[in-house]
Amino acid sequence: MSPKNPLRAVVVGCQVGRMHADAYAHSDATELVALCDLDERALHDVADAHDVDARYTDFETMLREQQPDLISIATPQASHAAMTILAATEYTPKGILCEKGMANNLGEARAMLAACDRNDVKLIIGHEGRHLPQIRQARQLIADGAIGEVRLSHVWYAQGGMMNQMCHASDRALFIVGDPRPTWVMGNVQRHSDKWERGWPAEDMGLGIVGFADGSRLILEGETPAGLRTENHQHTVTGTDGLLVVQHGYWLRTKQKADGNNSPTPTSDEAIGLRIHRNDGSVETFAFEGHREPSLALRDARRREIHLFARWTSGEITEHDQDAHQCLSTQEIMMAIYESARTHSLVEWPVKTLASPLIEMIATGDLPVLSPGQYDTRHR
């Protein structure tokens, strides 16, 4: 593949897919040829920004008419499996980038992988955080033995539920320590309000402990405090020789304005950082290339993700860090936390539950709503 013959790319879902469109348009390895969304305002906003003439409100019509090489599925989670399986089975592109959470349940996620494997379609999951400079440097530092043997990772995420945002935290935590395969999970969730995210039910709080074969652990905490929005993921990795602190973003506290509009305001000057606290009491701070403002850092991570996606699907490189075969572990962890909450027991690998334990707990009344009134966090 050369810049003279770029891969033809399409995006469905122009809200989350806005950054996908930017990345395809920015890369000399791809050409953004069409966009699709039921929301025509979002569709035209993104299409106008990138001078894309082919605009659709029906996904399959776009695939049939455009016959793309690359497809980005940036719609809500509930539609991921059906769209991915349809695209891979009927239109066989070179590759599909499906946003996180991968699917509603583990059965759907495995079916997506199987459909892509059968049709020789490469599938990656939208965990672009693996391309953030501080995440990649943290992974390299740990691989080089900077904190000795890893014993415990701890991630706290205060924005969104497990399938929406905690899956990002889990995926980054796995990536930093070398993508070990879990052996067991214990967890619990709380759902006292009738909370939904992008049309799918979500918990108010979640907690998971993940065990690995080498005896190390990963602790995942997720919650959404009232009145607080954050881009900050508290992430530490404890080793035998020190503690690695990964600062992903900065706190944003919502201020109520007189006109009723809320504006996130940073409460910390340090947007992104990486440092090691060694056992001898010394502290080392690491510099890295790239933007320190979170939105720009994520934009560049998405651009790197998609440029490498094009190179991988065209055969220029042999692997991609977001290969769905690897990222499936994050989906398994989320489902295992729900299953542990449902059964009040430890869940071992491989995870056997194919349906969503969260949906089952809601249906059986095991997660009773104490504050009635369904709401979606994206429309509140």
Q: What are phi and psi of 141, to 5 degrees?
A: -60, -45
pLDDT band at 362 (very low <50, low <70, confident <90, very high): very high
pLDDT band at 269 (very low <50, low <70, confident <90, very high): very low
Is the pLDDT score of 258 beyond 80? no
pLDDT band at 263 (very low <50, low <70, confident <90, very high): very low
pLDDT band at 198 (very low <50, low <70, confident <90, very high): confident
Strands 283-285 and 95-98: unpaired
Token duo for residue 244: 């690695």
Token duo for residue 252: 């944003």
Taking the domains of the chain in order of start, what are their residue ranges? 7-129+299-322, 132-293+329-379
What DSSP assignment string belongs to 72-92?
A: EE-S-GGGHHHHHHHIIIII-
d(CA 20, CA 9): 10
Q: Decide if domain 7-129+299-322 falls under CATH 3.30.70.100.
A: no
> What pLDDT was estimated at residue 179?
96
Helix (H) or strand (E) holding 157: strand 150-157
Q: What are phi and psi of 131, to 5 degrees?
A: -105, 5
What is the reported pTM?
0.91
d(CA 305, CA 23): 8
> What pLDDT was estimated at residue 21?
98
Q: What are phi and psi of 166, to 5 degrees?
A: -60, -30
d(CA 61, CA 68): 12
> What pLDDT was estimated at residue 273?
79
Strands 70-73 and 95-98: parallel
What's the whole-number mean pLDDT along residues 237-259?
A: 67
- pLDDT 10s digits, 171-195: 999 999 999 999 999 999 998 889 8
Q: Which CATH number fits domain 132-293+329-379: 3.40.50.720, 3.30.360.10, 3.30.70.20, 3.40.190.10?
A: 3.30.360.10
